[in-house]
């Protein structure tokens, strides 16, 4: 029996946070995973989950977690877990996630700490599951039998790479990308940006976000080297990101201009390419893979976060306003749900893929 045919025990680290709560909502209705353990800081450890958490999801808190006692994030407490999902704060994720993969757990992380390590897959699971080929080298270099770490990207990167991947596959190399983001406040975790800073306002700085986006896009859309030991990020693509925080609860909007290295496609060809895009996770029948990876809208004033963020249960990227760009070739507006495809949903689909392929 392969892992994908049995129920897998899942731990959520950072279970009290914004991403952790999204994990709990998605895992509670998942046919393949059972929530086994919840971990958070010493502030929360020892408390039952309802007392440890300020629940901020619009879904009600699943019954099975209410009385679970939150554990410290030490692998010794997680015997019996098959997969470990991490929604840990980056300030602590490095050491804690390392302790877990070194203790032979399969770790699926949302934190930035290991994203750019050359034999760690930085995997948006509707884009680059081929990067799982790095896991064998990672295990070998760390002398691990079962343990490994796979990360997913920064939330704004996860939306951008999806249409870029479709366009790159169909029309060849992309030479330049300019992206301006309008990012929701849940992207900053809880309590995030103070209400007096964000209401009636736009904050034109998300510290550290722009270089992360610019680097992660090139790793995700790049390949891996011939001996499968390291990623090979794109070197010819130039990416410029400008990131803004706006008064939206969930859903990052991004205005994108793209220049192709070769002959540019027409607007109609771009629309068709995005509508037809499919990925390996869909072909494998993974539960969380959306029916349409990219939802293309012809409505002139869409996508909008309040109306479109839940397309494909939050796992689709919605792309609209596709038109010619007078400076580059094509421009469009996209929307991604930052805590679903941008975080917990991507990790869960990564784990489904890993189970289907025998990594777990």
Ligand X SMILES: NC(=O)c1ccc[n+]([C@@H]2O[C@H](COP(=O)([O-])OP(=O)(O)OC[C@H]3O[C@@H](n4cnc5c(N)ncnc54)[C@H](OP(=O)(O)O)[C@@H]3O)[C@@H](O)[C@H]2O)c1
Q: Is 155 a catalytic residue?
A: yes
CA distance 135 to 132: 6
CA distance 28 to 348: 12
The active-site residue, picked from 155, 243, 273, 286, is 155
Q: Exactly one of 4, 10, 11, 14 binds ligand X (CB under 6 A); which one? A: 14
Query: From the CB of 95, what's the least distance to ligand X, in Å?
Result: 9
Which residue, 206 or 330, has its beta carbon nearer to ligand X?
206
CA distance 14 to 248: 23
The reply on whether position 20 binds ligand X by CB under 6 A is: yes
CA distance 336 to 341: 7
| Binders of ligand X in range 133-192 (CB under 6 A) | 155, 186-187, 189-190
Q: Exactly one of 11, 40, 166, 215 binds ligand X (CB under 6 A); which one? A: 40
Which residue, 3 or 44, has its beta carbon nearer to ligand X?
44
Three-state SS across 181-217? EEECHHHHCCCCCCHHHHCCCEECCCCCHHHHHHHHH
- Exposure string over 125-146, b if 16+ CB within 10 A, otherwise e: bbbbbebbebbebbbeeeebee
Contacting range for ligand X; rule: CB under 6 A; set: 28-36, 37-45, 236-244, 272-280: 37-45
CA distance 114 to 163: 24
Query: From the CB of 12, what's the least distance to ligand X, in Å?
Result: 9
Q: Is 255 a catalytic residue?
A: no
Token couple for 133: 């080929």
| Binders of ligand X in range 217-276 (CB under 6 A) | none
Q: Which residues contact ligand X (rule: CB under 6 A)?
A: 14-20, 40-41, 43-44, 73, 87-90, 92-93, 110-111, 155, 186-187, 189-190, 338-339, 342-343
| Residues with a known catalytic role | 155, 252
């Amino acid at each position: 029996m392969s892992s994908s045919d049995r129920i897998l025990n899942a731990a959520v680290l950072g279970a009290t946070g914004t991403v952790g709560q999204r994990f709990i909502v998605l895992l509670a209705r998942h046919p393949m995973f059972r929530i086994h353990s919840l971990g958070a800081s010493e502030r929360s450890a020892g408390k039952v989950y309802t007392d440890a958490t300020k629940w901020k999801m619009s879904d009600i808190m699943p019954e099975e977690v209410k009385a679970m006692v939150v554990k410290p994030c030490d692998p010794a407490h997680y015997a019996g877990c098959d997969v470990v999902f991490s929604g840990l704060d980056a300030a602590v994720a490095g050491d804690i996630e390392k302790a877990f993969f070194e203790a032979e757990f399969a770790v699926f992380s949302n934190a930035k700490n290991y994203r750019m390590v050359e034999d760690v897959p930085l995997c948006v699971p509707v884009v680059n599951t081929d990067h799982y080929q790095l896991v064998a080298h990672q295990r070998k270099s760390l002398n691990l039998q079962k343990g490994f770490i796979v990360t997913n990207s920064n939330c704004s990167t996860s939306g951008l790479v999806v249409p870029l991947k479709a366009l790159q596959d169909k029309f060849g190399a992309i030479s330049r990308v300019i992206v301006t983001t309008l990012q929701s406040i849940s992207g900053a975790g809880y309590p995030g940006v103070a209400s007096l800073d964000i209401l009636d306002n736009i904050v034109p700085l998300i510290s550290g976000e722009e270089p992360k986006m610019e680097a992660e896009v090139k790793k995700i859309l790049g390949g891996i080297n011939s001996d499968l030991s390291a990623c090979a990020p794109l070197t010819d693509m130039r990416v410029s990101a400008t990131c803004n925080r706006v008064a939206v609860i969930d859903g990052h909007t991004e205005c994108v201009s793209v220049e192709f290295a070769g002959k540019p496609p027409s607007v109609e060809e771009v629309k068709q390419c995005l509508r037809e895009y499919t990925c390996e996770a869909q072909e494998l029948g993974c539960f969380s893979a959306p029916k349409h990876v990219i939802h293309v809208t012809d409505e002139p004033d869409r996508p909008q976060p309040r109306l479109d963020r839940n397309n494909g249960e939050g796992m689709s990227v919605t792309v609209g306003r596709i038109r010619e760009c007078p400076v580059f070739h094509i421009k469009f507006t996209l929307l991604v749900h930052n805590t679903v495809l941008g975080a917990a949903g991507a990790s869960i689909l990564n784990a489904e893929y890993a189970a289907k392929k025998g990594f777990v």
